[in-house]
Structure 1
Amino acid sequence: MCTEPTIIWLLVGAFLVEGALGYPQSLFRLIGHPVSWMGRFITLCDRTFNSQSKKPFADFVFGLLTLLVLIGLVGAVAVGVVVLSHQVPFGWGIELVFCATLLAGRSLYDHVSDVAQSLRIGGLAAGRKKISLIVGRNTEALGEQDISRAAIESLAENTSDGVVAPLFWGLVAGLPGIAIYKAVNTADSLIGHRSDRHLWFGKSAARLDDFLNLVPARLTGFLFVVAALVWGKASLASRAMWRDARHHLSPNAGWPEAAMAGALECRLGGPRTYGAGAVMAEAWLGEGRTDLGVSDIERALTFYKIAMVIVIALLIGAGVVAGVAQ
Structure 2
Amino acid sequence: MSQQKRVKRAISGWLILNKPYDMTSTQAVGKIKWLFEAKKAGHAGTLDPLATGILPIALGEATKTVPFVQDGTKIYEFDIAWGSATTTDDVEGEVIETSDHRPTEAELTDILPCFTGIITQIPPAFSAIKINGERAYDLARAGEKPDMPPREIEIEALEVLAHGAEISTLRVTCQKGTYVRALARDIAKKLGSVAHVSRLHRAAVGPFTQDDAVSIEYLEDYADSISRDQALRPIADALGHLDEVSLDQKQAQAVRMGNPALLLGRNAPISLEVAYATHKGDVLAIGRVEKGQFKPSRVILPDSAQRN
| TM-score above 0.5 | no
**Higher radius of gyration, 1 or 2:** 2
TM-score range normalised by the length of the shorter chain: under 0.3
Q: Which has the higher strand share?
A: 2
Q: Which has the higher helix share?
A: 1
